[in-house]
Amino acid sequence: MQAVTVAEERRGPDLDEVTEEVVKALTKARVDIDIESLKPLRAIGAGGQGGVWLALDQSSGCRLAVKQIRKGRLALLPQVSMERALTERECLLEVGDHPFITTCFGCFQNASSLFFALELAPAGDLFGALDHHPDGLPEPRARFYCACIALALRHVHAHGWVYRDIKLENVLIRADGYVQLCDFGLAKKATEDRTYTTCGTDEYAPPEALSGEGRSSAADWWALGVLLHEMLTSRPPFEGGSAESVLLAIIEYAGGGKIAANQLHMQTAAQVSLDCANFLMGLLQAKEADRIGAGPTGFLQIQNHPWFEDLDWEATLRRQAAAPWVPPREADGAVDMGLDFEVEDVMLDRPYEPHLFPDTFKAFGPTRVTPWPGDK
């Protein structure tokens, strides 16, 4: 199977105009929060560098997700890694007013931590969603999520950023059934055409990065292909018992050109529609120039693809289309992950000597005076 070649002309709405209108509306509607009135309610998430709280802004009555990162933990990392929180702040504040990107309402800090006050997506992430679908999501649901993520990436790329960290855990499910990208800690402003930093999850690494050619925005479209495969089958297309074997599988795939559908864990082509398989293989093209979304027509290649023929791009961007699945309403506004930050290693305080980093976090945001759980 090969990627469909689409015509140059657009079929459908001018997404630039729609995006501009939607972004303006979201910016105007953004809530002003009071960092002193934020009340942490309970833990709802944990990642490699921090934890996430369900919090109530008592001044506005809004429930938010507050991401906390220990400064002492960052101080143990190399300088470039330590400063990723600042990069995430910069990127989120630039691109965050988009329907499929987590809105950042503000950033603040205290003596021991950095905090992002974020839009709450109460139904967890795609990794958790696949726990309920061990054989993969229904194709219409995977297509809907794929379209939302593609629109988010389009916006990120238009602002000159490469996301570089697509994975199931970084796609959150909103209360209305739509999804949005979160965690922009690995995003990079592509002042040049390519970036050469080794980063991200091994299973999502594009062939060009493994061959030493670096990454461009095309790498995000490859990663979307890996994510789509996981949504459809609950398995990544490239697996192995170690990081080395996973990367070798990607290299071997890239060297072999075409790949049979059953090598991507699809037992028969009937498991998904032909248009779906065609689109998936278009994203997983080893050569960047042949990859859907990265060719000369850019996003039009996605917008015009037969797999999305029945999708209303404008209604989706405006969040007016009916989502294929809407999560049940949680009593307090978020899925209970059973987390306890008093024992979660990622949230335990680390020694931190602020005089060694006097200016590192200065520009991150204002200082909160009111104590936060876990403060000494």
Where do we find the tokens 């170690």?
242
* Beta carbons of 40 and 372 less than 8 angstroms apart: yes
Q: What is the DSSP letter of 269?
A: G
Cα 218 to Cα 28, 64, 162, 325, distances in angstroms: 32, 33, 9, 29
Q: Which two tokens stand for residue 89?
A: 């702040």
What share of residues in the chain are helix, strand, coil (percent, to 5)?
A: 35, 15, 50
Q: Which two tokens stand for residue 313?
A: 């791009």
Q: Which two tokens stand for residue 274?
A: 């032909």
How far is residue 65's CA from residue 312's CA, in Å, rounded to a whole number? 30
* Beta carbons of 292 and 305 less than 8 angstroms apart: yes
In one-letter notation, the amino acid at residue 370 is T
Which stretches of 222-346 are assigned E, i.e. beta strand? Answer: none
Q: Which two tokens stand for residue 32?
A: 């002003």
**Residues acting as catalytic residues:** 165
Choose among 16, 57, 65, 22: nearest CA to 36: 57
Q: Which residues pair with 114 in a beta bridge?
A: 69, 109
In one-letter notation, the amino acid at residue 266 is M
Kindly report the CA angle at 367 between 364 and 368, in degrees rounded to 5?
130
Cα 231 to Cα 136, 201, 225, 285, distances in angstroms: 5, 16, 10, 18
How far is residue 84's CA from residue 71's CA, in Å, rounded to a whole number? 12
How far is residue 348's CA from residue 371's CA, in Å, rounded to a whole number? 16
Q: Which two tokens stand for residue 223?
A: 């990663």
Q: Which two tokens stand for residue 165?
A: 């960290």
